[in-house]
């Protein structure tokens, strides 16, 4: 049997997906894409799982980009075909459960785009970030030119994508590319603590909250605010809203049903 390119573990209500090609710095090849999508389908359908953590195997790398070996000699339409199936990046951004990137090392090219598709990014102090495609005669192809300006502002995105230069974790935190930086040996514990605390909330409410925030990437502000208000009112139809409010008033912990 061939080694899985993506490992799937459960830790309580948290699913951990680990890109497992450490000798290639976890570069994303088509096997990683196919296996990730299959795992995500399983996780989406499993009510015992409330959040996903994505990381890379080994000490050195989160994901060092798309597998450059697969680009050599490829014709445009072959590349288009390879990118045709639902892209992991878009599936993660629209995934019905929160997805957290645990960035343990090199976070480059498609790896940085993968991290940007996640909902929250936690990074080790040793992590390094970049969009080095320009050095290959390429541009980012996994949403980087669109997601990066939204996350870090146009100037910072231009600097990273046009120069191809790498930045460290502190700089990534400063510009908003990551949300928290942790000592390398504390990264797993901190990420799992955050993921578990999120996964313990009402899955239904998490889904609606994520949907409302993702909509802000597409909608003009007035439409977005109207959409949020509609979703807020829709929450008044759920058992979890009745339970959450009752639990607060009765000074007890809420027991979520996901309904």
- Contacts with ligand COA by CB under 6 A lie at 24-25, 27, 64-69, 106, 108-110, 132-133, 136
Q: Is 239 a catalytic residue?
A: no
- Beta carbon of residue 258, minimum distance to ligand COA (angstroms, whole number): 39
Q: Closer CB to ligand COA, residue 34 or residue 205?
A: 34
Q: Is 113 a catalytic residue?
A: yes
Q: Closer CB to ligand COA, residue 95 or residue 106?
A: 106
Query: Rounded to whole angstroms, how far apart are CA atoms 250 and 252?
Result: 6
Apex CA 245: angle with CA 243 and CA 246, to 5°? 60
Nearest one of 73, 119, 67, 112 to 92, comparing CA atoms: 119
- Beta carbon of residue 30, minimum distance to ligand COA (angstroms, whole number): 12
DSSP 66: B
Q: Closer CB to ligand COA, residue 29 or residue 191?
A: 29
- Beta carbon of residue 188, minimum distance to ligand COA (angstroms, whole number): 22
Q: Which residues contact 160 (CB under 8 A, 6 or more apart)?
A: 129, 130, 131, 148, 152, 167
Catalytic one of 11, 41, 59, 113: 113
Nearest one of 134, 136, 223, 121 to 173, comparing CA atoms: 121
Catalytic one of 35, 41, 81, 133: 133
Which residues are annotated as catalytic?
Answer: 113, 133
């Amino acid at each position: 049997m061939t080694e899985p390119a993506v490992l799937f573990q459960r830790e309580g209500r948290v699913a951990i997906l680990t890109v497992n090609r450490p000798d290639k710095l976890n570069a994303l090849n088509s096997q990683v894409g196919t296996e990730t999508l299959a795992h995500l389908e399983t996780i989406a359908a499993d009510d015992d799982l409330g959040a996903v953590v994505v990381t890379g195997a080994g000490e050195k790398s989160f994901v060092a980009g798309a597998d450059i070996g697969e680009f050599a000699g490829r014709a445009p339409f072959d590349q288009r075909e390879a990118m045709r199936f639902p892209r992991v990046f878009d599936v993660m951004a629209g995934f019905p459960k929160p997805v957290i990137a645990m960035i343990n090392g090199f976070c480059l090219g498609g790896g940085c785009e993968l991290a940007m598709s996640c909902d929250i990014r936690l990074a080790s102090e040793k992590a390094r970030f970049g969009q080095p495609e320009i050095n290959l005669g390429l541009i980012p192809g996994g949403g980087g030119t669109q997601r990066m300006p939204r996350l870090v502002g146009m100037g910072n995105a231009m600097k990273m994508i046009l120069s191809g230069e790498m930045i460290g974790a502190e700089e990534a935190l400063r510009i908003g590319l990551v949300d928290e930086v942790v000592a390398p040996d504390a990264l797993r514990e901190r990420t799992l603590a955050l993921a578990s605390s999120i996964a313990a909330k009402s899955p239904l409410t998490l889904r609606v909250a994520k949907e409302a925030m993702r909509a802000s990437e597409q909608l003009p502000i007035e439409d977005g605010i109207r959409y949020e208000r509609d979703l807020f009112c829709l929450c008044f139809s759920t058992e979890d809203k009745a339970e959450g409010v009752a639990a607060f008033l009765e000074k007890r912990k809420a027991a979520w049903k996901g309904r």
